[in-house]
Amino acid sequence: MIALAVDLGGSHAACAVVNGEVVLACEHIELAHAHGLMAALPALSAALQRAVVKAGVALTDCAGVAFSFCGLVDPVRRRVTSTNAKYDDAPGIDFEAWARSEFDLPLRIDNDARLALLGERQAGAATGFDDIVMVTLGTGVGGAAMMGARLVRGRHYQAGCLGGHLLARYGGRECTCGARGCIEAEASTWALPEMCREHPAFAASPLAYLPKIGFEELLRCAGGGDVCAAEVFRRCLDVWSAGVVALIHAYDPEVVIMGGGVMSAADQILPAITEYVRQRAWTPWGQVQVRRAALGNTAALLGAVPLLEDASIE
């Protein structure tokens, strides 16, 4: 099956033509989420059209458009139901009408971590599994779950994809979602600068002199012996490890796939989480595998075909 695929990130979008497990062509465009998604639709259409030309396929060969959105989505009504500080105009957009008028194709849309899970199962680190938890460590912490070969969606389509908004610490940090102490609020790229500033050794840390604090900077300083950076990173590992155990307890998977930009430092993250899961998860049946995502940025694009084939929608 050939499909068009859009993977919308906070500051960019990937617009692709995929054939099963292969990305035939992909166009990357810069976007400013502050300007809204409606204003970006013409650029998305144009990028998809360019990808179609590059791929050398005809639109009539394509089964549909699969749209990956960074927020809560109702995949049956093809609507965004809630955003979290990105593309706040998205709930008002009729994506189905857009795909019909631009490409004369049907459209499906779902949460980006769900698409990434489908992609990793189709062609990445989760092939052969039917019970999967996906965690994406990035600006925020995304999540998705599959049980018995079906995506966990829930009554209002928000189950599974709030993995980053399970609890890490009651009474903890304010989260962008409205709750407190979420995994994402306790250990994610957006939470990192404040975590560092609150550390008692921050003023003496090289972090205090950097224009921006991300995990790359944190790990560089920690590697150089900085106590503040090392302790904040250790705390992030503790949050992610305990959070992964909570997700295992919630969804009973066989494998947990860790993806997202922060996982470019997988060597420093995965062993700690794996060991914590081995020691702490209550899984009398055996061991949950913890794996690094294999597809990087193409995971959500490769989720396009399984999303379009998902018989549980409609």
Residues forming contacts to its own copies in the complex (CB under 8 A) are: 72, 81-82, 130-131, 147-148, 152-160, 162, 165-171, 177-181, 186, 238-239, 241-243, 245-246, 249-254, 279-285
In the complex, least distance from residue 286 CB atom to its own copies, rounded to whole angstroms? 8
Structure tokens at 303: 């989720």
Residue 52 or 245: the one with the smaller Cβ distance to its own copies is 245
Alpha-carbon separation of residue 261 from 22, 143, 178, 216, 249 (angstroms): 21, 14, 24, 10, 25
In the complex, least distance from residue 187 CB atom to its own copies, rounded to whole angstroms? 9
The residues, any chain, with a CB within 8 Å of residue 4's CB and separated by 6 or more, are: 15, 16, 17, 18, 48, 51, 52, 62, 64, 65, 66, 103, 105, 304
In the complex, least distance from residue 292 CB atom to its own copies, rounded to whole angstroms? 21
Phi-psi bin for 225: left (phi > 0), alpha (psi -120 to 50), beta?
left
In the complex, least distance from residue 157 CB atom to its own copies, rounded to whole angstroms? 7
Q: What is the DSSP track for 80-114?
A: EEE-SSS-TTGGG--HHHHHHHHHS--EEEEEHHH
In the complex, least distance from residue 312 CB atom to its own copies, rounded to whole angstroms? 10
Residue 51 or 152: the one with the smaller Cβ distance to its own copies is 152
Residue 35 or 156: the one with the smaller Cβ distance to its own copies is 156
Residue 81 or 297: the one with the smaller Cβ distance to its own copies is 81
Residue 118 or 281: the one with the smaller Cβ distance to its own copies is 281
Work out the number of other CB atoms within 10 angstroms of the CB of residue 17: 28
Residue 155 or 212: the one with the smaller Cβ distance to its own copies is 155
In the complex, least distance from residue 174 CB atom to its own copies, rounded to whole angstroms? 10
User: What CA–CA distance (Å, rounded) separates 138 from 268?
Assistant: 15
